[in-house]
């Protein structure tokens, strides 16, 4: 199985008429994803390569039965787009856009939790989600992923999401689902959300987790793994050589006051029984060793 999305998922692209939205919307559809609609209040009634455009998400959901949405609009409009998707009946929202103000993220994150607890938000500032051979929502290149399981991947880093997929494909190891949760300070989906879903998925036999410096998400994931995850986990934490107090890449990747260091995260994961690599390739090799014993 896969988590969150599969071959039956119907997707609306909020921003399908824009350059990036149309580019990735086409790629996702060519991959096999059911891209069933786009939205634009001034372009309703038109289409993008045969995909109909509706004025808003509610109209698109009513016409197509879509359950997922992918947001490809400028950062200033993401807050409104997320809430439009939730109010319109979408249950899984992927917000690819980077640069969304943290204040906006905090507002719509909490509004979803309060008013739409059954809606799952992925992102913002994330590569999206791919269940190889079934569904690809976002900007991940489909050809670097091998289908068929047995590994589930969750990653904070976009680039390392791709490398994790490619490392496993090079070793002829398939993936059930790969989730790029993004590295912003207020991510809609956490490591723990994905770990819980992978633990419940019978076809996911092992989990690969890619973290980075900053915050406490990896330490919290380590505690969760120790108490709730029975499947073997390999991991890599980016930022071992990052100087304290410097932001490295993502807005959430900043170390301060001695907290959020790669060393502390690695130690927490190792204490939880996770096999931690010193680089992405080593994490892939550790996963290959795990898969060989499954």
Give how many domains the chain has, as a whole number.
2
- Kindly state whether residues 192 and 224 are assigned to the same domain: yes
Tell me whether residue 132 is in a domain.
no
- Kindly state whether residues 145 and 63 are assigned to the same domain: no
- Kindly state whether residues 167 and 92 are assigned to the same domain: no
- Kindly state whether residues 172 and 224 are assigned to the same domain: yes
| Res 185: pLDDT | 87
| Res 249: pLDDT | 53
Tell me whether residue 127 is in a domain.
no
Residues 219, 224, 230, 231: is their CA dihedral positive or negative?
Answer: negative
Tell me whether residue 160 is in a domain.
yes
CA–CA distance from 110 to each of 105, 121, 180 (Å)?
8, 11, 21
**Domain closes at, from 122, 156, 186:** 122
Using DSSP, state whether 49 is helix, strand or coil: coil
3-state secondary structure 25-36: HHHHHHHCCEEE
Tell me whether residue 134 is in a domain.
no
Tell me whether residue 133 is in a domain.
no
pTM of the model: 0.94
- Kindly state whether residues 117 and 145 are assigned to the same domain: no
pLDDT tens series, the chain, 294 aa: 799 999 999 999 999 999 999 999 999 999 999 999 999 999 999 999 999 999 999 999 999 999 999 999 999 999 999 999 999 999 999 999 999 999 999 999 999 999 999 999 999 999 999 999 999 999 999 999 999 989 999 999 889 999 999 999 999 999 999 999 999 989 999 999 999 999 999 999 999 999 998 889 999 999 999 999 999 999 999 987 666 655 555 545 454 455 578 999 999 999 999 999 999 999 999 999 999 999
Using DSSP, state whether 91 is helix, strand or coil: coil
Task: Quote the CA–CA distance of 10 and 91 in Å, as a whole number.
Answer: 11
Tell me whether residue 210 is in a domain.
yes
How do beta strands 34-39 and 68-71 pair? unpaired
- Asked if residue 223 lies in contact with residue 231, where contact means CB atoms within 8 angstroms, the answer is no
Task: Quote the CA–CA distance of 6 and 133 in Å, as a whole number.
Answer: 9
By C-alpha distance, which of 63, 94, 9 is closest to 54? 63
**Domain closes at, from 76, 94, 122:** 122
- Kindly state whether residues 167 and 284 are assigned to the same domain: yes
List the domain range (segments joined by +) for residue 99.
Answer: 10-122
- Kindly state whether residues 82 and 151 are assigned to the same domain: no
- Please calculate the CA angle 35-38-39 and round it to the nearest 5 degrees: 155
**Domain closes at, from 122, 150, 184:** 122
| Res 250: pLDDT | 53
Residue 141, judged by CB atoms within 10 A of its CB (0-12, 13-18, 19+), counts as: middle
Tell me whether residue 151 is in a domain.
yes
| Res 133: pLDDT | 96
- Kindly state whether residues 187 and 266 are assigned to the same domain: yes
34: domain CATH number is: 3.40.50.720
By C-alpha distance, which of 93, 81, 35 is closest to 56? 81
| Res 247: pLDDT | 55
| Res 52: pLDDT | 98
H/E stretch holding 103: helix 102-115
219: domain CATH number is: 3.40.50.261
Catalytic residues: 250
- Kindly state whether residues 236 and 187 are assigned to the same domain: yes
Using DSSP, state whether 191 is helix, strand or coil: helix
- Asked if residue 182 lies in contact with residue 228, where contact means CB atoms within 8 angstroms, the answer is no
Angle, helix 102-115 to helix 78-87, in steps of 10 degrees: 10
By C-alpha distance, which of 244, 200, 194, 242 is closest to 217? 194
H/E stretch holding 136: strand 135-138
Max distance between CA atoms of the chain, in angstroms, equals: 57
Task: Quote the CA–CA distance of 281 and 80 in Å, as a whole number.
Answer: 40
| Res 260: pLDDT | 78
CA–CA distance from 293 to each of 17, 120, 213, 288 (Å)?
48, 33, 30, 9
Tell me whether residue 56 is in a domain.
yes
- Kindly state whether residues 280 and 185 are assigned to the same domain: yes
Task: Quote the CA–CA distance of 111 and 126 in Å, as a whole number.
Answer: 20
By C-alpha distance, which of 228, 159, 147, 167 is closest to 193? 228
- Kindly state whether residues 175 and 221 are assigned to the same domain: yes
- Kindly state whether residues 86 and 158 are assigned to the same domain: no
């Amino acid at each position: 199985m896969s988590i969150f999305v599969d071959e039956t998922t119907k997707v609306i692209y909020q921003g399908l008429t824009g350059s990036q939205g149309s580019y990735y919307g086409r790629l996702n559809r060519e991959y096999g994803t059911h891209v069933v609609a786009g939205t634009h209040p001034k372009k309703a009634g038109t289409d993008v390569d045969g995909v109909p455009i509706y004025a808003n998400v509610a109209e698109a959901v009513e016409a197509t039965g879509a359950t997922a949405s992918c947001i490809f609009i400028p950062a200033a409009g993401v807050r409104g787009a997320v809430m439009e998707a939730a109010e319109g009946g979408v249950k899984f929202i992927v917000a690819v856009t980077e640069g969304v103000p943290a204040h906006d993220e905090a507002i719509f994150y909490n509004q979803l939790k309060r008013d739409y607890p059954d809606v799952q938000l992925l992102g913002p500032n994330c590569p999206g989600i791919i269940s190889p051979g079934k569904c690809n929502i976002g900007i991940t290149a489909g050809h670097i992923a091998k289908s068929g399981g047995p590994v589930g991947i969750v990653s904070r880093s976009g680039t390392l999401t791709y490398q994790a997929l490619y490392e496993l494909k090079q070793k002829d190891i398939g993936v059930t689902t790969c989730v790029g949760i993004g590295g912003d300070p207020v991510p809609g989906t956490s490591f723990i959300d994905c770990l819980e879903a992978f633990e419940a998925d019978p076809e996911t036999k092992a989990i690969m987790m890619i973290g980075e410096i900053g915050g406490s998400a990896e330490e919290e994931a380590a505690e969760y793994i120790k108490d709730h995850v029975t499947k073997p986990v390999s991991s890599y934490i980016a930022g071992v050589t990052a100087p304290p107090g410097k932001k490295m890449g993502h807005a959430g990747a900043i170390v301060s006051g001695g907290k959020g260091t790669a060393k502390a995260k690695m130690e927490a994961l190792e204490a939880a029984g996770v096999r931690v690599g010193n680089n992405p390739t080593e994490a892939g090799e550790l996963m290959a060793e795990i898969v060989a014993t499954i």
